[in-house]
Chains A and B, each alone.
Chain A
């Protein structure tokens, strides 16, 4: 054999070699595909302490700030680092006390007095007081707050719009005075945007707090690399006790096949970003546990009324959608028909009598299109290029073609998609496939946001605010969410949803989907229902 150093390798030889290598690589992939993978199982079986739990996430920009939404993964890190005044476990939908030990609500529903828990320690060693609450909430309510990073999203700013005063009579009490009563306030304070940050850390890091987040949660920030991972360490002084695991790693994994292989090999402990197509395979594999995650998010298609002004055409589009095909082919069964229109089955106000609003009727849709003189019209549809979105776009494109429309589609990089939704001038802004995961499990967070004539849905995406009568929906929704009696509230939401759909039809519900949680067999104590809502409650998890 000639030594490589003395051997002139011709381009042709290199090509031949590359071809063989390519085939070899292909064979390796094939072998992996056939399940030839190393597997190492934990034999002990019981709950343990120590070790690292690795969650696969959609992405990280290495910025973890409750006032600045970046990715679901970054949001999960905030969830693990910081706690709020209230807490919703998703095993129950009711807000529970967390950093607030208790609260009282005035008879007129305008004044909330929170008694804060004492002896709680932040990761920087400072003690939790009302000053931390004020500093954290001010970032959400006041857009001039100096600790806000540029472009901050401030998820709680709408609460601030209804705020009369925020005061701290003493170190252990916070008083929130509202302009109008808001039954959902306790739920909203459990939202990730309402998490409490150390005031000392805010003063120290200012707008860079997202790179140095200090909270009272079960895990403290250790390191983060954009596009790669976030590492958190268990916090010894967590008020409910040190978590069983030593380390929580949120690892960005975007390739579906890598998620599956990593779950099977144990490189990933758990994830809610499991590709739908792999669920059946994973259910049959002893190495992992597939949870029956609630069908809790809305998958929908927003219609821009500035592009599709005729109500009949929008209704026809809604009727044309083959939702059974979406469930079978885009969600592989991990979804249900949207019988309650925008309110998913796991919420109190879900009303199956609204099923007709999302009924498929192709013949009627064709008639409506013909009557509107829209046959042959070109409509443009865009969807993010990840998860179920591109498949849904292809199925819907065919459905719309079948009723006489011409469809152009655009599959958009997920990182760029949200900005395009915000741009009514975008070429593909006619129809937009999107989803809404409830930040807190209440109808106000679903229909209350989707039918609101302002904000991303009513203003930027659908242009609902340009239609006659749309302004009244802000008041109607506000009134509905404050109805104390659950049955009456449900009835009101049903009435609003039906009227909104029949009079305007700016949103075609596709399905209620689940974020399928899968974990390795050795993972125990994980709150998988919360993870299915992109929440990260790993306080009791062990590996």
Chain B
């Protein structure tokens, strides 16, 4: 390993050096909430016996009904099972679309920032073009052209959120491209892609990571919103966004059918935001907001 690579790879670690995550009750709680949601989505279904898609004649049972802690919905399905299983689509879509947005956005931004000139101009104008579209409209266009479901949501949201990350990546890459370690790598004969991935990326990782986590909350908002509009996971598979939409007609008689999935979605989105804030604080303590 070259010296420059050693310096570069220490970027993320050095960015965290001496600074702890989760300082303060708000940040700690937010981390806990996000972790809890991930755990629920990952292993929660193993601990809930009821089939979330199974209709029964026990419709609209209230909270605490026998055998149904959170009651049942209008088709007699166990609401606890639906809440637990319903976490999966939201988190899956949120994480995968954020990952896709990060992959696309950071790649494009870094190439633009590193290459400069016409390549930069073309790539960033393409990103500007994508940003000119209202994100929701762009996602609906993409999802409508496909069949509603996890794959179309991930692609739609991922593409819509990529330009924001590309702009940041390009700014950071432009800064890093002028640094000595990059010049040294170039003079040492290291090829462009290797410089981008092994040298520059670790040094951009701090601010990028914070931004990606922020993007996660936006992705979660879009995922829930699109499911609410019927463009997400199709029933009877439980999904919080669709559960809010389906429960709306019971707002007066069984408001819990709306309140529970809506509150869970809100909690996840807000917690992701605070986690993003905390990450940024940890990685960039000079920034004052």
Which residues of A come within 8 Å of B, CB atoms? 10-12, 15, 18-19, 22, 26, 29-30, 32-35, 255-257, 260-261, 275, 277-278, 280-281, 325, 328-329, 385, 390-391, 393-395, 397-398, 408-411, 413, 427
Interface stretch, picked from B2-10, B49-57, B93-101, is B49-57
A35-B252 CB under 8 A given contacts A11-B277, A329-B76? yes
Which residues of B come within 8 Å of A, CB atoms? 53-55, 57, 59, 74-76, 147-148, 230, 234-236, 246, 248-253, 255, 258-259, 262-263, 266, 270, 273-274, 277, 289
B74, B76, B262, B277: the one contacting A277 at CB < 8 Å is: B74
CB <8 Å contact, A277 and B53 = no
Q: Count A/B pairs, Cβ under 8 Å.
A: 88
| Residue in A closest to B235 when the chains form the complex, CB atoms | A394
What are the residues of chain A within 8 A of B266 when measuring CB–CB? 19, 22
B55, B76, B235: the one contacting A409 at CB < 8 Å is: B235
CB <8 Å contact, A281 and B235 = no
CB <8 Å contact, B270 and A19 = yes
What are the residues of chain B within 8 A of A32 when measuring CB–CB? 251-252
Cα A328 to Cα B266 in complex, Å, equals 33
CB <8 Å contact, B274 and A15 = yes
B76, B236, B249, B274: the one contacting A278 at CB < 8 Å is: B249
What are the residues of chain A within 8 A of B277 when measuring CB–CB? 11-12, 15
What are the residues of chain B within 8 A of A29 when measuring CB–CB? 251, 255, 258
CB <8 Å contact, A260 and B252 = yes
Which residue, B54, B55, B263, has most C-beta atoms of chain A within 10 A?
A: B55
CB <8 Å contact, A411 and B249 = no
Cα A408 to Cα B234 in complex, Å, equals 9
CB <8 Å contact, B252 and A257 = yes
Cα A12 to Cα B262 in complex, Å, equals 21
What are the residues of chain B within 8 A of A260 when measuring CB–CB? 249, 252
A275-B255 CB under 8 A given contacts A19-B270, A394-B236? no
A397-B253 CB under 8 A given contacts A19-B270, A427-B147? no
Known: A33-B255, A394-B55. 4 other contacts (CB 8 A): A18-B270, A33-B252, A280-B253, A329-B74
A contacts with B: majority SS = helix
CB <8 Å contact, A410 and B259 = no
* Chain A min CB distance to B203 (Å): 25
Minimum-distance CB pairs A-B, first 3? A256-B249, A257-B251, A33-B255
What are the residues of chain A within 8 A of B76 when measuring CB–CB? 329
* Chain B min CB distance to A181 (Å): 47
Cα A405 to Cα B147 in complex, Å, equals 22
A281-B273 CB under 8 A given contacts A411-B235, A413-B230? no
Cα A15 to Cα B271 in complex, Å, equals 10
* Chain B min CB distance to A496 (Å): 34
What are the residues of chain A within 8 A of B274 when measuring CB–CB? 12, 15
B147, B236, B248, B262: the one contacting A397 at CB < 8 Å is: B236
What are the residues of chain B within 8 A of A12 when measuring CB–CB? 274, 277, 289
A395-B55 CB under 8 A given contacts A12-B277, A277-B74, A411-B235? yes
CB <8 Å contact, A409 and B289 = no
Cα A409 to Cα B230 in complex, Å, equals 12
What are the residues of chain A within 8 A of B236 when measuring CB–CB? 394, 397-398, 409
A390-B235 CB under 8 A given contacts A30-B259, A411-B230? yes
CB <8 Å contact, A11 and B289 = yes
| Pairs across A and B, CB under 8 Å, 25 listed | A10-B289, A15-B274, A18-B270, A22-B266, A29-B255, A29-B258, A256-B248, A257-B248, A257-B251, A260-B252, A261-B252, A325-B55, A328-B57, A328-B59, A329-B55, A329-B59, A329-B74, A329-B75, A329-B76, A385-B230, A395-B75, A398-B53, A398-B54, A410-B148, A411-B234
| Residue in A closest to B248 when the chains form the complex, CB atoms | A257
Cα A10 to Cα B274 in complex, Å, equals 13
What are the residues of chain A within 8 A of B74 when measuring CB–CB? 277, 329, 391
CB <8 Å contact, B54 and A281 = no
What are the residues of chain B within 8 A of A394 when measuring CB–CB? 55, 75, 235-236
What are the residues of chain A within 8 A of B251 when measuring CB–CB? 29, 32-33, 257
What are the residues of chain A within 8 A of B234 when measuring CB–CB? 408-411
CB <8 Å contact, B248 and A15 = no
CB <8 Å contact, B252 and A278 = yes
* Chain A min CB distance to B251 (Å): 4
Cα A390 to Cα B75 in complex, Å, equals 11
Which residue, B74, B234, B277, has most C-beta atoms of chain A within 10 A?
A: B234
Cα A26 to Cα B74 in complex, Å, equals 21
Cα A531 to Cα B273 in complex, Å, equals 50
What are the residues of chain B within 8 A of A278 when measuring CB–CB? 249, 252-253
| Residue in B closest to A13 when the chains form the complex, CB atoms | B289
Which residue, B59, B236, B252, B259, has most C-beta atoms of chain A within 10 A?
A: B252
CB <8 Å contact, B59 and A257 = no
What are the residues of chain B within 8 A of A18 when measuring CB–CB? 270
CB <8 Å contact, A325 and B148 = no
* Chain A min CB distance to B88 (Å): 18
What are the residues of chain A within 8 A of B252 when measuring CB–CB? 32-33, 35, 257, 260-261, 278, 281
| Residue in A closest to B237 when the chains form the complex, CB atoms | A409
Cα A393 to Cα B248 in complex, Å, equals 18
| Residue in A closest to B255 when the chains form the complex, CB atoms | A33
What are the residues of chain B within 8 A of A408 when measuring CB–CB? 234
* Chain A min CB distance to B168 (Å): 15
What are the residues of chain A within 8 A of B262 when measuring CB–CB? 26
What are the residues of chain B within 8 A of A328 when measuring CB–CB? 57, 59
What are the residues of chain A within 8 A of B53 when measuring CB–CB? 398
Cα A385 to Cα B227 in complex, Å, equals 12
CB <8 Å contact, A391 and B289 = no
CB <8 Å contact, A30 and B253 = no
A26-B289 CB under 8 A given contacts A256-B249, A397-B236? no
Cα A33 to Cα B252 in complex, Å, equals 4
What are the residues of chain A within 8 A of B147 when measuring CB–CB? 410, 427
* Chain A min CB distance to B233 (Å): 10
Cα A391 to Cα B76 in complex, Å, equals 11
What are the residues of chain A within 8 A of B253 when measuring CB–CB? 277-278, 280-281
Cα A19 to Cα B274 in complex, Å, equals 12
Cα A433 to Cα B59 in complex, Å, equals 22
A26-B75 CB under 8 A given contacts A33-B251, A278-B252, A328-B57? no
Cα A363 to Cα B251 in complex, Å, equals 38
* Chain B min CB distance to A54 (Å): 20
Cα A329 to Cα B246 in complex, Å, equals 13
* Chain A min CB distance to B68 (Å): 16
* Chain A min CB distance to B55 (Å): 5
| Residue in A closest to B51 when the chains form the complex, CB atoms | A398
Cα A33 to Cα B236 in complex, Å, equals 26
What are the residues of chain B within 8 A of A11 when measuring CB–CB? 277, 289
CB <8 Å contact, A30 and B246 = no
Cα A255 to Cα B274 in complex, Å, equals 33
CB <8 Å contact, A391 and B148 = no
CB <8 Å contact, B263 and A26 = yes
* Chain A min CB distance to B259 (Å): 7
Cα A32 to Cα B250 in complex, Å, equals 12
| Residue in A closest to B246 when the chains form the complex, CB atoms | A390
Which residue, A10, A15, A35, has most C-beta atoms of chain B within 10 A?
A: A15
CB <8 Å contact, B255 and A30 = yes
Cα A409 to Cα B53 in complex, Å, equals 13
| Residue in A closest to B242 when the chains form the complex, CB atoms | A411
What are the residues of chain B within 8 A of A35 when measuring CB–CB? 252
